[in-house]
Amino acid sequence: MDMKKLIAAAALLACVGGASAQVYVGGALGATNQDVDCQGASKCDKNAVGGKLYAGYAIDPVFALEAGYANFGKFSASGNVSGVGLVSVDLRSSAVFILGAIRGTVAPDMKLVGRLGMANVTSKIDVSVPSASGSDSMSEISAYYGIGLEYTINKNLSASVEADFTKAADVAETGNGLIRMISVGAQYRF
C-alpha cells in the first residue's frame, strides 16, 4: 500500500458521514526503541524520540478507523574497524498506517483503546567511514498494533498514554527489528 492510497483512505474517513459518526485528530510524542543488532559496535543507541499524527473516524462509540504517520526517530551505532577506521551507522524508520480501533470504558471519563492494522514502514540507513559514505532505504508492509488509555477532559478533548508496535523494514538485511513507541498525546473530536 503506497502513501497515495493511505491518504485517499484518510480522506474517505473524513468525508463519510453518519448520525453517530465522529471525526477526530490526534498526536502523540514519546520514547522509541528499536531492536537492532549492535554486535561489534563500541557505541550503540537503540533509543530515540518519536511521534505520530493521525485522523480517525468513529463509526460508533466502540469502533473507529484511523490513518496516520509515525516517525520513530534516529537510532545509531559506531565502532572502529581494523584497516578502515571509525564506522558510523544511523537508522531512521517511519510508517504510514491504517488501523481499526476498539474502545471500551474502564472508568468514568477513561477508555481503554486497542489498535490493529497495517503500516507501510520505511527504514533508511546511512553508513559513513573516513573516506566515504552511503545510504539505502526500503519499505515493507508490516503489522501495526497498539494499546492505550484515554482520559476525557471535555466533550472534544482527551489525553492519552499509548504503546505502539511495528517491525522495521530490513534495510540492513540483519533481520527485522521490533519498534516500540511509548507516548503521551492528545486527541480532538469535531
pLDDT in tens, 24-46: 999 999 999 988 777 778 888 88
Query: Sorting pLDDT into bands at 50, 70 and 90, what band is 108?
Result: very high
Name the amino acid, one letter, at 31.
A
Q: What does the alpha-carbon distance between residue 104 and residue 11 come to, in Å, rounded to a whole number?
A: 26
Distance of CA 22 to the CA centre of its chain: 23
For the record, the C-alpha cell of 108 comes out as: 468514568
What does each C-alpha distance from 52 to 21, 28, 56, 122 come to in angstroms?
Answer: 23, 5, 13, 14
Q: What is the mean pLDDT of residues 172-188?
A: 85
Q: What is the mean pLDDT of residues 115-133?
A: 92
Least confident piece of the model among 14-18, 100-104, 145-149, 180-184: 14-18
pLDDT at 35: 83
Q: What is the pLDDT of residue 73?
A: 94
Classify 73 in phi/psi space as left (phi over 0), alpha (psi -120 to 50) or beta. left
Higher-scoring residue by pLDDT: 116, 77:
116
**Is residue 10 predicted with pLDDT exceeding 70?**
no
Rounded CA separation 77/83 (Å):
18
102 vs 69: CA distance, rounded Å: 19
pLDDT over 90 percentage in the chain? 59
SS3 of residue 19 by DSSP = coil
pTM score, whole prediction: 0.83
